[in-house]
Structure formats: structure tokens, C-alpha cells
Amino acid sequence: MKNHKWNRIVLKVGSALIAPERKGCSSRYLLHIAKFILQCRDMGIEVILVSSGSVAAGAHFFGNIEKPSLPIKKAMAAAGQNEMMAAWDRFFDFPSAQILLTHGDFQDRERYDSVRETIFALLEHGILPVVNENDVVTTDALKVGDNDNLSAMVAAAADADALIICSDIDGLYNKNPHTHDDAVMIKNVNTIDQSIYDMAGGAHSSVGTGGMQTKIEAAEKATSHGLTTYIINGFKESSFEQLILGNNPGTVFAPYAKPMEEDLHWMTHTSRAQGEVVIGDGFEYPLDENSDQLTSNEIVEVLGEFSAGDTILIRSDDGKHLAKAEANYSSCLLNFISDHDNNDDDNEFLHQTGPLVSDKNIAVLDQEDK
Ligand SMILES: Nc1ncnc2c1ncn2[C@@H]1O[C@H](COP(=O)(O)OP(=O)(O)O)[C@@H](O)[C@H]1O
Ligand SMILES: N[C@@H](CCC(=O)OP(=O)(O)O)C(=O)O
């Protein structure tokens, strides 16, 4: 693509573009998106498609109920996924492959590597991977929950160079343009901080999930991995024509000058904490330099159930999120130690235990109250 030095991109397409009226899939917008995918491939750019829209596409089989129950929503997704894959396939003269994922597939390192290998094998053979969340099997604890974050996780796992989020709006505005007439569009974002999150409102359409909030989260995940991230209006063919010309048709988020290391990125942006360890005020920060000194002496409280090797959140007594890290001990053992710290035998045991986490497996967080 002119001016863009991309080898591999992830293109995320929102529900409103697949099934705009919830009357099954429509080719209205897919046609120019498919053309863009073809042009990229012709230019030697590998494309991974993250396509929403299974629920919106399947809704008409169930009488378009306004507020479907969870089982009906999952049934809509199961039926709509077929329709959605078939709708895309009509435009391509090369094969596509369906990949359905849940958060568990990113949390478990073996499954994560397996997803990566499959994506690379498909790309090597010229097959277009089409990814969606596996809505049928997800539970609240297991799901990613929105395809903006899912697309960023896929982009990081697939070592892509750019993430392009195609939405029903031109880009990020300083406030929700559907509720504020004076909203102004932001063309470039160099740093994603709280002021950027403060601009985001929820979804406007009946089919969208997450609105701008999840798109900014996705941009943060992707840019910290070194990917340029775009939010563009997928309704407009001109958005894709501009991208091909090397221009920015929407909002572009600049990649970090120094992307995070792979393991640190995974711990910060992908892995979810299975439990929390609350530590006392006396501990000297910063944690990254002193994590080896973080022993069971510091524990105020252990929350949730986790095993050694699970990701945990370390937070201070006053609510600050200090770090995410791999636990060296289970919650059961840490609870036992912190409950018995006055007894001599236990004190000896306490001295024999090593640090709660080690400095190789820790991601220090921006220390804000959450
Ligand atoms: N600051 C903002 N800038 C742009 N859009 C915003 C903003 N805040 C909220 N939105 C809403 O986010 C919507 C896009 O998100 P969503 O409905 O989830 O779309 P998609 O299906 O493409 O993921 C927009 O239509 C708009 O109503
Ligand atoms: N997995 C869901 C998509 C959820 C989602 O994030 O939708 P959207 O906000 O339209 O990208 C589906 O296929 O219906």
C-alpha cells in the first residue's frame, strides 16, 4: 500500500456493516470491504479478517426479538455465523477459514501458540483467516466480550503491522457525535491516556458492542505492541480508497516508539488476573526493581482462588493497582501463611518461602485507583 510499509494487517468489521438492519447479511457494504481485501492481497499484504455480525445476521431466524435471552442470543450467533461466512465467501476467489476463539484461548499459553501457528499456516497457503468470538461456548468469565479487543489480541498474536477497525462512524470524536452536535473529530492520537478514554461513549446502534471505549482499549493493546491502529468509517468506500493511497481516512493511533516485550505485553493486555494479593503500605516501590523482595511478610489479604503459575493482580491496601504477575504460590498456601504469621513455626516457614512473584514475570501497571 502506497506509503504504508505493511506486510500483514488485521481488518475488524463491525456488526452494522454485516447485517445493517438485522434482516440477515447484506452485501451493501461487504462489497467494497472485500475489494479492499483483494487489493491488499494483490499488493502482497497478508490480511486477517475479524468479522462481527453473527448475532445480527442470525437475529431474523428468531423473529428479531428486541431483548433476546442469553441462550437465544447464542443460538442467533450459531445460525448467523454460517450466514456471515457464506456472505464473505461470495466475494472471494480464494479460500477462507473460520477461527472461533474465546478469552481462554489467549490466556493459556499453549492454546495461544496453537492459534498463532494455525494463523501463520493459513496465511502461508493464501487462505484468509476469518475470526470471531466463539459466542456459543463463552461464559462471562471466559469471553473477550467485544471484537475490538479480540481483534487487537489477534493482531498482537499474529505479529501484524496495522489494525484497521471499520465502524459505523468516521473515527474518534472528542465526545459522542450521536449525542453532541458540537463533537469534533480527532485525526491523530499519539498517546492514549485517560483524557482519550474520557471522550468515549457507548454503542449507538442496536447491533454494536462496546462503542468507542472498546475501540480505544483495542488501540492501546495494539499500539503498545507496535501496531499502527485506525478507526475508519466502513460504510464509505472512500475510506478504503484513501487507505490504499496511503492516507488516513479516520483516526490514526501512533504505535509506541518502543513496543513492549512480548511476555510483558501478554501479561499486561491479554492475561486476566485469577485473584488478588493486597500488600501493606510499608512496601517500598517501585515493584519492578524490588519484586524479589515482595514476600509473604507484605501480605494483607489474599482474594480469589489461584494456583502457582496463574496471573494475579498485586494491589496496595489503599486500592492502587500496582502490578500483574505470575504467582509463585497458590492462594491456598498464601492464605495459610498470612493467617498464621504469629506462630514461631510458621514464622520459620515464612522465612523459608521465596518471593511471591519474580521480576521476570511481572508487569508494573500505571498506578491509578480503579
Ligand atoms: N467519542 C466518540 N467518537 C465516536 N463515536 C463514539 C464516541 N463515543 C461513542 N461513540 C459511539 O460508538 C459507536 C461505534 O461503536 P459500535 O456501535 O460498537 O460499533 P461497531 O459495531 O463498529 O463496533 C458510534 O456509532 C458512536 O455512537
Ligand atoms: N461476536 C459478536 C460480535 C460482538 C461485537 O463486538 O460486535 P461489534 O461491536 O459490532 O464489533 C457477533 O458476531 O455478533
Shortest-distance atom of ligand 1 to CA 171:
4
For residue 271, report the phi and psi dihedrals to the nearest 5 degrees.
-65, 140
Q: Which ligand is nearest to the CA of 83?
A: 2
Shortest-distance atom of ligand 2 to CA 16:
10
Same fold for the domain at 8-265 and the one at 273-368?
A: no
Shortest-distance atom of ligand 1 to CA 179:
27
DSSP line for 95-119: -EEEEEE-HHHHHSHHHHHHHHHHH
The pick from 176, 179, 192, 230 for probing ligand 1's pocket by mutation, whose C-beta has the most ligand atoms within 8 angstroms, reads 176
CA of 203 to the centre of ligand 1 (A): 5
Contact 104, 142 (CB under 8 A): yes
**Residue located via cell numbers 472498546:** 214
CA of 296 to the centre of ligand 1 (A): 45
CB atoms within 10 A of CB 272: 15
Would you say the ipTM is above 0.90? yes
User: 266, 232, 264, 234: which is closest to 250 by C-alpha?
Assistant: 232
- The CATH classification number of 273-368 equals 2.30.130.10
The pick from 17, 30, 51, 52 for probing ligand 2's pocket by mutation, whose C-beta has the most ligand atoms within 8 angstroms, reads 52
> Using the 8-state DSSP alphabet, how is residue 269 labeled?
I
Contacts of residue 241, Cβ cutoff 8 Å, sequence gap at least 6: none
Instruction: Indicate the angle between helix axes 331-339 and 344-352, nearest 10 degrees.
Output: 140
CA of 133 to the centre of ligand 2 (A): 8
Predicted structure pTM score? 0.91
Domains of the chain, by residue range, sit at: 8-265, 273-368
Angle at 182 between CA 179 and CA 183, to 5 degrees: 70
Contacts of residue 335, Cβ cutoff 8 Å, sequence gap at least 6: 302
Look at the domain 8-265 and name its fold. Carbamate kinase (3.40.1160)
Q: Is the CB of 213 under 6 A from ligand 1?
A: no
Q: Is the CB of 271 under 6 A from ligand 2?
A: no
Between CA 115 and CA 22 the distance in angstroms is: 31
> What is the pLDDT tens value at each position of the chain, 370 positions in all?
666 789 999 999 999 999 987 788 999 999 999 999 999 999 999 999 999 999 999 999 999 888 899 999 999 999 999 999 999 999 999 999 999 999 999 999 899 999 999 999 999 999 999 999 999 998 887 899 999 999 999 999 999 999 999 999 999 999 999 999 999 999 999 999 999 999 997 776 666 677 899 999 999 999 999 999 999 999 999 999 999 999 999 999 999 999 999 989 999 999 999 999 998 876 666 666 556 667 777 788 999 999 999 999 999 888 888 899 999 999 998 888 777 655 555 556 656 677 888 777 888 887 543 3
